[in-house]
Amino acid sequence: MSDRKYIFVTGGVVSSIGKGIATAGIGRLLRNRGFTVAPVKLDPYINVDAGTMNPYQHGEVFVTEDGAETDLDLGHYERFIDVYCSAASSVTTGSVYRTVIDKERRGDYLGATVQVIPHITNEIKDRIKRAGEIDGADIVIGEIGGTVGDIEGLPFLEAIRQMKKDVGAENVMYVHVTFVPAVGPWGEIKTKPTQHSVIKLREIGIAPDLLICRTEHPMSEDIKEKISLFCDVDKSAVIESMNAETIYEIPLIYERAGVGDTVTKRLRLPENEPDLREWTEIVGRVKSPRSEVRIGIVGKYTHNGDAYKSIDEALHHGGISNHTKVNIAWIESSDLEAMDVAKALSGLDAMVVAPGFGSRGIEGKIAAIRYARENDIPFLGICLGMQLAVVEFARNVCGLENATSEEFDPTSEHCVIHLLPDQHGVTTKGGTMRLGSYPCTIEDGTLAARLFGQKKTHDRHRHRFEVNNDYRETLKSNGMTCCGVSPDYRLVEMVEIASHSFFIGTQAHPEFKSRPNRPHPLFAGLVEAAVAHRAKRTGSAAIAVGE
Ligand code: GLN
């Protein structure tokens, strides 16, 4: 395909209506039709990247292979479209201004007055185009963060408006994700908010080609007609989008609703037959599981599930490969500190101890790990979760009293976790951790070797601390093996306890690479172990769903 196509997704009426999943869903639908897709998120906030943002406010920080700290929507894109995003897939106001100001300081603008239009908008357009060039994608799909009408989003909307002029009207399409509420005692469906948000878009010069209407109630033909008339969008391009039983059904729902046909017609793409087999199989497995387990996520941001979005999804991927429904129990680690841990954690078939920073809740996490270790509950520790598994083992098995991480008490006699050598002297926060994909060599005959089925693996990282090598021997002689190390043997990547049925910790973030069609081995393994644990616990080999 010679002319690259561009699809831009905006959101209207309210935030959090699932614009990221809609974007990812359209991306998947296009892949099902044989096109290559490069997603890009355009975020109007002034942070240079999401790395410095509080997960409570903004959800998890998603890390790409090349170590960019990005918005969690990139996780949706990777999981749905099955691509690898990169730093080029994430554009923020902060990063755009930073580039423009650097250029201005270098004198690149040759005395010009540097302005939002054209300098900022040109930089935004360059970034959008670059995202498509990297892998030579057929289609770039760009999601604009925030809601139409936000002041800070205006330069991005202006840039995507100009794109039509730059690359030709037949190569650009606008999708607006809007909310259609039902109000009053009779649950009357109201189209006015959608009309207004489309008016706002049109004021800027963008006429949407497709409307994805998020709604809790089915929309009648009359309602679609009305939206079509008032918003000047073909009725066939007014798409009803209700909550699906599983988000992975969305590409199939969109395909059935005609989104694929509308997009291919509008962009003059070849009308390839969609291949829906893989995704139909995934959805079928989610909807008809053969067993069911309860897995706890012990973390410190559990009141906002988005803070652990990729872990949540990866557990469900493990469920898909095991034909098992995974019910998540959110466990706030700081609450555990004042609770009877055995009572609070009873009924779990497996446990994940989540990544994190700072001391809040760490003793709760350590108590949970001890409970999993002593009661043979399948356990996966991720990053901080792995570091605390080492701390717990050092304290309660190796007898190293007060063992801890240097992150929490640099004066401790036994810092079994300490600062990575190249982190000494690092004082700034943004983008300064050990970030991105690194290799890991796996020891033969270990649980890790069985799960990965290969000697070498790569996973993404985001940390400043590591296992202190001075303690490797002590850990080993007491039963905790460093089953994964960096190829130069200097850095511990994974630990496990051989005497336990499933106890493994990783310094990496395996959740970022997991996909519904390709679950990460650690999550597939954990769910498999959870199924076995439940069978043991309940004394039956097969567990009926709904038990
Ligand atoms: N705070 C720990 C570190 O920086 C763990 C980081 C994490 O869990 N991502 O090493």
Average pLDDT over residues 220-234: 95
What is the tens place of the pLDDT at every residue in 432-488? 899 999 999 999 999 999 999 999 999 999 999 999 999 999 999 999 999 999 999
Residue for token pair 């069978």: 535
Substitution candidate for ligand 1 out of 308, 386, 404, 407 with most atoms within 8 A of CB? 407
- Written as one string, the DSSP assignment of 123-168 is HHHHHHHHHHHTTT-SEEEEEEPS-TT-GGGHHHHHHHHHHHHHH-
Largest Cα–Cα separation, the chain: 78
| Ligand 1 pocket check for 356: Cβ under 6 Å | yes
Instruction: Record the pTM.
Output: 0.95
Is 63 close to ligand 1, i.e. is its CB under 6 Å away? no
Give CA–CA dist 270/385, Å, rounded.
48
Asked if pLDDT for residue 404 goes beyond 50, the answer is yes
For residue 418, the SS3 value is strand
Residues 53-75, buried b or exposed e (16+ Cβ, 10 A)? bebeebbbbbbbbebbbbbbbbb
Give the number of C-alpha atoms closer than 13 A to the C-alpha of residue 414, restricted to the C-beta side. Answer: 17
How far apart, in whole angstroms, are the C-alpha atoms of residue 404 and residue 194?
Answer: 54
186 pLDDT band (50/70/90 cuts)? confident
Query: Please, which pLDDT band fits residue 49 given cuts at 50, 70 and 90?
Result: confident
Q: Taking the chain, what is the end-to-end CA distance rounded to the nearest angstrom? A: 52
- Active-site residues, by number, are 383, 509, 511
User: pLDDT digit string (tens) for 337-375?
Assistant: 999 999 999 999 999 999 999 999 999 999 999 999 999
- What phi and psi values does residue 140 have, to the nearest 5 degrees? -100, 130
How does pLDDT run across 113-145, given as a tens digit for each residue? 999 999 999 999 999 999 999 889 999 999 999
Atom of ligand 1 at shortest distance to CA of 407? Answer: 1
140-154 burial code (b ≥16 CB/10 A, e <16): bbbbbbbbbbeeebb
Cβ–ligand 1 distance for 407 under 6 Å, the answer yes
pLDDT band at 64 (very low <50, low <70, confident <90, very high): very high
Burial class (CB in 10 A: 0-12, 13-18, 19+), 198: buried
How high does pLDDT run on average in the chain?
Answer: 94
Confidence of residue 1 (pLDDT cuts 50, 70, 90): very low
As a whole number of angstroms, the distance between CA 380 and CA 365 comes to 12
What is the Å distance from ligand 1's center to 340 Cα? 27
CA nearest to 386, candidates 216, 506, 254? 506
**In this predicted structure, what is the pLDDT of residue 547?**
47
pLDDT-derived band at 425 (thresholds 50, 70, 90) equals confident
The type of residue at 45 is Y
For residue 68, pLDDT beyond 90: yes
pLDDT category of residue 545 using cuts at 50, 70 and 90: low
The confidence score (pLDDT) of residue 540 equals 66
